[in-house]
Each structure stands twice: as C-alpha cells, then as structure tokens.
C-alpha cells in the first residue's frame, strides 16, 4: 500500500516562469527585510529569505514538502517591504497546489469540497434553498419585531438589481441575525440590491488550497450568477479574501464579467459623505477607543491606500476622530493577522497563534477597546488571539457600528459588542 507523497517541483524554474522580468530571485540582495517583516518567520525555521535561497540552492525536496507553505498566508508583505519588489508569495501558492489533496490540511480541502457541492458555492455547504429559507425566516422576524423595518426587503434573485451582494456563510449558518445590520443599511440608503440563491457565498477556500481549477470553477459560478441576474455591481460583503479571489480570478482567467467589482467600505464612505448614512459619534459618550484592521486582501493586495483612506474616514465619522487610534504599521504596510490563507481551517493552531502575536502586539500598543474590520477571517483570528494572549479588546464589523451609531441596531445583532456597548440604547436617528 503506497502512501501519497508530495511531488518534487523545481522552485528555481518556477520562479523564472512566475516572476516578472527584472524582479526575479536573481535581484535578491539577501538583505532580510522580507524576513524581518514577515509574521511567519521562525515557523518551521523558515522565512521568506530562506525560501528564496533554498530555491536558488536547489533544495526542492525541502521546499516541496515544508508545511511552512500552509503557514505563509500569502499576504505579500514581503514584496511590499522588498526594495527589489520580489514576490515570494507567488511561489507559495504554487507549492500549495502541488501537494496531493490527501496531504493538504483537511479543513481547507473540506471547505473547498463543500463549496463545490452545491450551487451556493458555500464553504459550509449551505445549499441555495436553505440559504433562501434562512434569509426569509430572519427577514420575517425582523419585520415583525422591529417596526421601523416592517417594509424592509432582503431580495433574492431579483433580476436587474443594481447591486449583487454576496454573503459570507458564517452568518446564515451560525449567526443569522448578523446579516440584518447590512440589510438595514441598504434599506436606509435605498440601495437597489439582491442576493442570489446561486453563487451567493463569499468565501473561497479553493484558492487557499492552491487548486487553480477549483478556484476557477467557484468563481465562474459566481460570475455566471451575477451575469445572469444582470446586476451592474458585484458588491463584496465585509470579507477580505472574497474580494481578492474574485478580482484576481476574473483577471487571471480572463473571465467575462459584465459588471464592476466593488466593496462595502467604498460605499459606506460614499453614503456617509452623501448624507444617506447620517452616522455620528454622539453615542460614544464613554470615549471608547477604536482601531481598524486593514485586511491584506483588500488593501495591500488589491485597492491599496484609497480603500484604507475610506475606511478611516468611515471610522472617524463613526467613533470620533479623537477616539480612533491607528495601528502601526498600517495600510499597505499592515501585518497580516494570520487569519487568511486558510490558516483558521488548517488545524495548525499553535503556529497560527505564534503568527498572530505580532497582530496582538499591534492592537495592544493602541490600547484600543475595539478593532473594526471588514474581514471575517481577520475578525475570527483577532478574536482568537485576543483570548489566547489575554487581550481585552472586542472585534466588530462595520455594519454593527453603523447601525449602533444610527440607533437601529437590534437586540439580537449585538453579539460581538462588548458589555458596555451591548446594552447601550442609542436613540434612533433615522
């Protein structure tokens, strides 16, 4: 009986084929800025500089088999700090894909399998009809018990809606009331939006597993769903990698997308500026301090500074400029928290927490009470390391705070607020 083994690939050749001209491993000055700035440095005695050198020294067996490739979240911070712009994470992605499925971290593989098991593309395997049911069920309850929202919609499969909104599976599966704040926001601003029963899910573990064809398939289903409904904008929920996997894939695989790709933060900022979301910081009478987590997938790897700026505008409007403390470093230079890349599903808890120590220190240095983030993985990871390292901060999504500020946050929509805010009664202002 033969055990599956990992094929040995030639990393030097891979680097030659993947890295742009002039930015190859040849240009590396071995200065170590990458390793110095990488939270995965030290795990498995590996770091980005060693990765490059091992590739150049022909240590293909070691690189092909090291579990470090599951601990590098491909956050691209190495490239960001490199004076030569060398991107080591590109090779890590391929190294992952090279592992036989049986040997990949089970949790990530399973999530990808589940995503492909129904038309939902949900990594928790929630089929379309169940998703539809949960949405309807929760909507009904809100209409009944929150009179302000008795005519609120949560459209499903609405042809020609302007916004196609995706949904991270976590909410409908385990915390369905957490979907509601966003519905309220759409309702308030009069957004013409819809969910789709097909291809509705946000998360994409197929990319994390390094499985290019599965990644493509999942995105294809989603793109088709948007195309089918004829929506103008695919609006990404507060989930980091879901934005990146969509944006990157359409480009990479040359897919035909008859819509633009955008994200909630950008629209929050716009709606606040337009006065459609009249948030303010009056509710923050306790002067609670907030910081913000720049998800790698949206900021450094995608939009860059502009969405980071929008995020800060939104935060400052929400909590008061003086109550916002930026993490250091931030924006494109921010550290990955360690929640991405499938780390939360990989079963490598000790390593993930080691990785997350830098994030914990960043948050601790701000002494903030709350971390705001538009990313589910960041959210989960920062909560976990907070508990592990004895932090005293809470992690919330933007929608929660927006609704709180407007005085429309329902009783059951407060699960991530700390005790001082969970009970806070803010008068409804809209």
Partner 1 sequence: MSTTMKQEERAFETEMAVVGTGIAGVAASIFALNRGISVSLAGNTGSLAYTTGYLDLMGSFEKKNFAHVDDPWQAVAALAVEDPDHPLAAIDVADIKTAFTDFVAFISACGIAYTHPAEENLTAMSPVGTVKKTLCVPKTMMAGVTAYAEKSRCVIIDFRGLRGFSGAQIVANLGPDWPQLRHERITVPGMLHTEIYPEVLARTLEVPDNREVFAEAVKRVAGDAEAIGMPAVLGMHDPDKTRAELERLIGVPLFEIPTMPPSVPGIRLREMVEQYFPQKGVTLIPQQKVTKIALSDDAAVLHTADNYGPIRIVAKTVVLATGRFISGGLEAEVERIREPLLDLPVTQPETRDQWYRQQYMGRIGHDVHKAGIEVDGSFRPLAGTGKPAHERLFAAGILLAHQDWIRSRSGAGIAIATAYKAVEAAAQLLGK
Partner 2 sequence: MTNDSHPEGGMETLTTRVLVIGGGATGTGIMRDLALRGIHAILIDKKDLCAGASGGNHGLLHSGARYVYSDPHSAKECREEGDLLKRLAPQCIEDTGGLFVAVKGDDESFIEKFPELCAAASIDCEKISVERARELEPCLSEDLIASYRVPDATIDPFRLALEQVNHARTINNSLYYSHTGVDRFEVENGRIVAAVCTDFAHDRNIRIVAEQYINASGAWAMNIARMAGCADVNVLYSKGTLLITNDRIAKMVINRLRPPGDGDILVPGGTVSVLGTTSVRTEQLENVRPTVAEVNLNIKEGSPMVPELANTRYIRAFSRIRPLVQSGDGGDDRDVARSFSLVDHEDQGLGNFCTITGGKLTTFRLMAEKTVDLVAARMGIDAPCKTKTEPLSYGKSSRWTEPGAAPRVWYKANNPDDYILCECEMVPQSAIDDIVDAPPEGEEVMTLEAIALRSRAGKGPCQGSFCSMRIASYLYDRGYYRDRSGLQHMKGFLNERFKGLRSIIWGQQMAQMELAEALHCGLLGLDQIDSEEVDNA
Cα 406 from Cα 318, distance rounded (Å): 9
Q: How far is the CB of 152 from partner 1 (least distance, A)?
A: 25
Residue 53 touches which of partner 1, partner 2, none (Cβ within 5-8 Å per kind): partner 2
Q: What is the phi-psi region of residue 74: left when phi exceeds 0, alpha when psi lies from -120 to 50, beta otherwise?
A: left
Looking at beta carbons only, is 115 or 233 nearer to partner 1?
233
Is there binding between residue 28 and partner 2 (CB under 8 A)?
Answer: yes
Let me know: does 256 contact 284? Beta carbons within 8 Å: no
The alpha helices in 83-161, defined as continuous H runs, are 89-98, 106-115, 128-145
Is there binding between residue 58 and partner 2 (CB under 8 A)?
Answer: yes
Cα 292 from Cα 396, distance rounded (Å): 10
Backbone phi and psi for residue 287, each to the nearest 5 degrees, phi listed first: 50, 45
Is there binding between residue 62 and partner 2 (CB under 8 A)?
Answer: yes
Is there binding between residue 31 and partner 2 (CB under 8 A)?
Answer: yes
Is there binding between residue 85 and partner 2 (CB under 8 A)?
Answer: no
Q: How far is the CB of 257 from partner 1 (least distance, A)?
A: 6
Let me know: does 418 contact 369? Beta carbons within 8 Å: yes
Cα 367 from Cα 369, distance rounded (Å): 7
Is there binding between residue 85 and partner 1 (CB under 8 A)?
Answer: yes
DSSP state string for 242-296: HHHHHHHHHHHTT---SSEEEEHHHHHHHHHHTTSS---STT-TT---EEE---T
Let me know: does 226 contact 196? Beta carbons within 8 Å: yes
Let me know: does 306 contact 342? Beta carbons within 8 Å: no
Q: Which stretch binds partner 1 (CB under 8 A): 54-62, 173-181, 185-193, 297-305?
A: 297-305
Is there binding between residue 348 and partner 2 (CB under 8 A)?
Answer: no
Q: How far is the CB of 95 from partner 2 (least distance, A)?
A: 15
Q: Which stretch binds partner 2 (CB under 8 A): 50-58, 169-177, 250-258, 388-396?
A: 50-58
DSSP state of 235: E
Residue 315 touches which of partner 1, partner 2, none (Cβ within 5-8 Å per kind): none
Q: How far is the CB of 148 from partner 1 (least distance, A)?
A: 30
Q: How far is the CB of 160 from partner 1 (least distance, A)?
A: 18
Instruction: State CA 398 to chain mean position distance.
Output: 13
SS3 call for 348: coil
Q: Which of residues 261-280 bind partner 1 (CB under 8 A)?
A: 261-263, 266, 270
Let me know: does 314 contact 398? Beta carbons within 8 Å: yes
Is there binding between residue 428 and partner 1 (CB under 8 A)?
Answer: no
Is there binding between residue 37 and partner 1 (CB under 8 A)?
Answer: yes
List of residues contacting partner 1 (CB under 8 A): 29, 31-33, 35-37, 41-42, 80-85, 233, 247, 250-251, 257, 259-263, 266, 270, 301-306, 326, 328-333, 358, 361-362, 364-365, 367
Residue ranges in contact with partner 2 by CB under 8 A: 12, 26-32, 42, 45, 49-50, 53-54, 56-59, 62
């Amino acid at each position: 009986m033969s055990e599956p083994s990992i094929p040995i690939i030639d990393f030097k050749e891979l680097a030659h084929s993947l890295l742009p001209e002039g930015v190859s491993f040849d240009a590396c000055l071995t200065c170590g800025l990458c390793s110095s700035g990488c939270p995965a440095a030290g795990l498995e005695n590996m770091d980005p500089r060693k990765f490059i050198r091992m590739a150049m020294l022909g240590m293909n067996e070691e690189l092909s088999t090291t579990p470090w490739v599951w601990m590098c979240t491909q956050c691209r911070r190495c490239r960001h700090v490199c004076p030569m712009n060398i991107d080591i994470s590109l090779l890590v992605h391929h190294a992952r894909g090279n592992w036989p499925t049986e040997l990949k971290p089970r949790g990530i593989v399973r999530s990808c399998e589940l995503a492909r098991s129904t038309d939902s593309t949900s990594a928790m395997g929630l089929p379309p009809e169940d998703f539809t049911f949960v949405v309807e069920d929760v909507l009904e309850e809100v209409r009944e018990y929150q009179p302000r929202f008795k005519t609120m919609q949560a459209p499903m499969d609405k042809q020609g809606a302007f916004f196609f909104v995706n949904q991270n599976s976590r909410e409908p599966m385990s915390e369905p009331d957490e979907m509601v704040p966003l519905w309220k926001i759409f309702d308030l601003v009069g957004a013409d939006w819809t969910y789709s029963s097909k291809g509705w899910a946000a998360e994409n573990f197929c990319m994390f597993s390094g499985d290019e064809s599965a990644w493509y398939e999942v995105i294809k289903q989603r793109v088709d769903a948007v195309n089918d409904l004829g929506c103008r904008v695919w609006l990404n929920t507060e989930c980091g990698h879901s934005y990146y996997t969509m944006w990157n894939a359409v480009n990479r695989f040359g897919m035909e997308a008859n819509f633009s790709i955008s994200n909630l933060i950008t629209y929050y900022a716009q709606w606040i500026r337009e006065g459609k979301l009249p948030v303010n910081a009056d509710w923050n009478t306790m002067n609670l301090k907030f910081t913000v987590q720049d998800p790698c997938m949206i900021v450094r790897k995608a939009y860059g500074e502009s969405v980071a700026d929008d995020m800060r505008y939104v935060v400052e409007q929400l909590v008061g400029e003086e109550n916002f403390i930026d993490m250091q470093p931030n924006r494109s230079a921010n550290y990955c928290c360690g929640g991405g890349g499938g780390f939360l599903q990989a079963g490598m808890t000790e390593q993930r927490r080691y990785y997350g120590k830098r994030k914990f220190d960043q948050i601790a240095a701000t002494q903030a009470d709350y971390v705001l983030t538009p990313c589910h993985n960041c959210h989960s990871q920062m909560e976990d390391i907070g508990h592990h390292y004895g932090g005293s901060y809470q992690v919330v999504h933007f929608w929660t705070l927006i609704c709180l500020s407007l005085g429309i946050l329902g009783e059951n929509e407060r699960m991530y607020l700390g005790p001082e805010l969970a009970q806070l009664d803010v008068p409804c202002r809209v």
